[in-house]
A and B are shown apart, each in its own frame.
Chain A
Amino acid sequence: MQRIGVFVCWCGSNIAATVDVKKVAEELKSEPGVVYSADYQYMCSENGQNLIKSAIKDYSLTGIVVCSCSPRMHEATFRKTASEAGINPYMVEIANIREQCSWIHKDMATATQKAIILGRAAVAKVNLNTPLTEGESPVVKRALVIGGGIAGIQTALDIADAGYKVDIVEKKPTIGGKMAQLDKTFPTLDCAACILTPKMVEAAQHENITLYTYSEVEEVKGYVGNFDVKIRKKARYVNENLCTGCGECTSKCPSRKGLNEFNMGLDGRGAIYIPFAQAIPNVPVIDTAQCIKFKTGKCGLCQMNCPSKAVDFSQKDEFIDEKYGAIVVATGFDIITLENYEEYGYSMYKDVVTSLEFERLMNAAGPSKGHLERPSDHKQPKTIVFVQCVGSRDTTGCGKEYCSKICCMYTAKHAMLTREKYPDTEVYVFYIDVRTPGKNFDEFYRRAVEQYGVHYIKGMVGKVYDDGQGHLMVRGSDLLANEQLTIKADMVVLAAATKADESARKLGTMLTASMDTNDFFTEAHPKLRPVESPTAGVFLSGFCQGPKDIPETVAQAGAAAAKVIGLLAKNKLKSNPCVARADSLICSGCSNCEKVCPFGAITYAETDVNDGTVREKRRVAVVNEAVCKGCGACTVACPSGAMDLKGFTNKQIFAEVDAICRQTGE
């Protein structure tokens, strides 16, 4: 029989304001096994912990129940307290009467009753607890970064600089991500390529970094410190080792109908192409959907003209299996498609463009060589209307409810750059709010208005239509002047909402990393653990966690790297002793647990079984405790109940449910 001590925490007024803590302590005193019960203002304080320690000694306690906050907050604290006082740390149970009780209830009587029931369940469980000992598992000193944009590159560089091996997996043929497509960056207006490409080169040349471009993560197994990842390296049809990047093939390709993704489809490219001049690796890739050789079997001009015989039409996807200690997600963002926003005429008028297209139109390496011209007739626009919040902060269900965060600043940038280069161009910006919280951000926006004379109009655009003479008529409302207005424009630029990259959802499922409804990855704690996923060993870098500009992305990338370094610096991780075990007397060896185990922790062995009446050799399950993560999937898959989870046995769970359901007569 256990001797159990119950410790009810007030958490200041957090719990005590809604739960009658004295009554909880009093009621739990009469639960089976309970020999001591007390309440205290802050159980996690040193005094509170000393109260627990002395009670353990004075009353010879064998187990304790702390009724307090979520076990995520202080379970570790109280386990340490218990072990300092001489009892096994796994003889501690937490009854969460704060997050799951006091914080969500208003009525003291019901909250108190619920707290008592939660405490009762914890007592019932401790009665069946047994001491457990932690094991150890090794850490693979290698990190995987998924996504090769600025976030992924920065995280990889920081980890690599600390001396650990890092692999970057990028699904596109080159690293660089969205930042490579940008022209200038706010608020300093330095050229994006000028600050990004040195980092790309550094990543490519770093002795600790391996790049897997045009590659995708196919499968993730394992757990923190020991992930097994399968990477699919898609066939480029160009041998990376032989190719010198001379570009001969790309200029000889007769198929020119491909849309240049890097320039947002504003110009064409060959079927064999290098995404952009500073691409890394500087190795072309063949678009098989476009390539004449792949479609008809005839052509092969690129292969014939390649001086280093690098073009290889028979190349196949390759699979790379690698082990990692940590995984960083840096999958970045994309912009939404605009089919829900027909009122802006994006699909009808060539001169209605997205901001990302506008970046390319302004860029010296863009389709117009940096000369701002409108796509329809290549004339320089004299009046440009920018529309902000196209799909952002949209509660109608057509777009995204969140603020995309970056649009206010880049629109100010676009407006400013246009006025700087072409002072005779009139620039209008329709906005709901201008949000400029950031270092030197508001100053930047004010410069656009005050110094560059950009016309900011508070209001939304209702319609964009053609006046039949080559002009776009933009009808909107000016809420400050309280009037409707129509602007005759040559070009309209839409600040389309951002969204999580499409690959994120699939990856999130693979990593069992939680995501929000917008497919942004969730952080372990919104304030205190912003770069960690709740899934141990998975870290978040950049836009994949939520909208971010470049400075924030880089800062977060560094933070994620620091967390990874902290993990990889450890030689061993303490492993959870709450792992599965199989009862060989009951096990039928059916293999269901093996099939359901996500970690491959279960094998089978012919074992001598002797239950007193039957003696035989049987095939029974054996759990590899170092690999088992205690998820419990096997315990529910096992039809005979032979699989049990230490620390969470079926009996303990039954006991908890029983305690909760027990009629109290009240």
Chain B
Amino acid sequence: MNATVVLAGNPNSGKTTLFNELTGGRQHVGNYPGVTVEKKQGTCKCDTGRFEIVDLPGTYSLTAYSLEEVVARDFLVDEKPSMIINIVDASNLERNLYLSVQFMEMGLPVCIALNMMDVAKKRGIEIDIPKLSSLLKLPVIPIVARDGKGKQALMAAVTETVGQRPEPLRISYGRDLDAALDEMEALIRPAEFLTPQYDPRWTALKYLENDQQIMDRGYRQDKITAMKLDAIVQRVRIHIAQTLDTHPEGIIADHRYGYVHSVLKQGVIRFFQDENRIQVSDKIDRIVTNRFLGPVIMAAMLMGLYQFTFTLSEAPVAWLEGFFGWVSAMAEQALPDGMVKSLVVSGIIDGVGGVLGFVPLIMFMFFGIAFLEDTGYLARMSFMLDRIFRMFGLHGSSVMAFIVSGGIAGGCAVPGVMAARTLKSPKERLATLLTVPFMNCGAKLPVFALLTAAFFAESQAQVMLLITLISWTGALLVAWLLRSTLIRGESTPFVMELPPYRLPTLKGLLIHTFERIIQYVKKAGTVILLISIVLWAMMTFPGLDENQTKAFDDQRSLIVSDLSREAVDEVMTLEDEKLTQAMITVKENLLQVDADQAGEALKNSAAGRMGRALEGITRFAGFDWRTNIALVGGFAAKEVVVSTLGTAYSLGEVDPEETGTLSERLRTAEGWGPLTAFSLILFTIFYAPCFVTVVCIAKETGSWKWAAFSIVFNTGLALLVSTVFYQVGSLVLA
């Protein structure tokens, strides 16, 4: 037997665990068409057949409240799966069945997988499964998703009932609404309004529920019928407001819950203790969300996550660096000097290395986040921080993305932007992922370290703290600005479940982590490689012309003119210790010519020309063309600002970790002072995210528009802040 089956259910009902159990990790992650909601698919092979399983997003209802609900509903209507496996949390039966009832109202074939029977038992809940099954007229199979118990029975039941089309469930919604539904159904049927996709009575119900999505569709298909239906709804609405002082939506929800309640009351469920009795979870919450202890524990958890990620990823990052260094060196030797070599070494190998360099970070970060999410702690963090983040138009869940991106200095915006996925509300999510790049990621730190060492050597720690405060303030204010202009709109309701604390399964965590990595490498990898090559070309071409190159060659010839051929070879190959003082001077002179040439070539490159052209604007912020080139290079990765400054100041390649000579050079360079340095620090905090982050923003928002926005807006903001600071500073100090 071959069939497509969907897996649906409430969030936190064990849906993902069951999905992993059924598909055994052989799964494929994509997106639902046109939206950024994840679509997981996998194959379940069992004794009775082969099933294609689609994991619907977890929802509490199908009322099109959130994007997830819209997606779930559209999928059910458009794809008409041959079966819904509805996972239901036995310890939370009433609320879970509220969703099942809505599937049944749509006339979809449902099989209930009753999960967490063990938890229910512990809480003194007893469920009469045959009775539930006969009252709902559908199969109900007890399972334990965590260890796969009941999986065979579930799939056997699915095989048996698959493809059957049950009659849609009819619930009575009270006299007024039932009459209106009858009247609307009588209009819908002959007009073939929105049929056959939707059941006529279901369409009528959605009209009464004031469901904008269905109403828009109806209006587009058949204006006349749509308007007639609207008129009926209006009439009922007014009547109900006058007689019952409520809305049709309210009555519908009441009756749906009423139906569930009446089913359960017929001896399906028995409580041996008060269902709202204090559970272990509640006891933990008393400590963990306590007014005083809560914030302390939260800070410790965040620090812990941070330590975990950045400590553990240090070694693999170093291995990767070492590996790519080795590949680079091999290529360096194997290829003849010239453009091809430069492209391979600086463009391709560095590009691939750049893509993969983030993998260990993403791996450990998402393992940590998935752990916090699956235990239920993440929801508590949102709960505690919501009040603060809401003031800026964000959401309690935004905190994770900010911390990961470098809220505690040294994070990375790439996993940060990806961490914004834990936010279910689209507007808050967008505002979050557009502002997290302002945090101080690990790559900005060498830039800050260089500048503070050169100009604020006595108060480095205080300046670093100031930088952290500025980036948080800036990010929150920009979020607030965006939420009051471009992404304006009511804040998404915080009506959220605090799931009971649970110990996550290692399998679940690993699958989640590897999904993230594969997605990153597949989706972002190719684009990142491409941009890396473009940036390389910008920093390389058009290069120096023949005359200029010849001038540098002449300088070299002059330096070595009174040395023999063998002596020159010795200078170039031997260690410093084996050379005489005179020969070391020769070598230094030669290296200086190389550095000068590199500096000149950079000045002449496309990036260099851009830097010089922009000097007219940036000098108001205190930046000359050298700084501009460095900032252009910083778009590749922020630490490149340091090495490019080195090249621009003819110091040759500067290692971002070893900036002693460069800070020395900057201290004495013309046009540099504490004012310029701090202006550059401000600019570095706020300007365009590195392109890996930009690509991730594009992938996460599903639109290059927001990626472009983040480049243009952030750079504009940075220029404004730096210029104002520099100008005011110059006035004050003058």
Partners in one complex: no
Binding site for B on A (CB under 8 A): none
Binding site for A on B (CB under 8 A): none
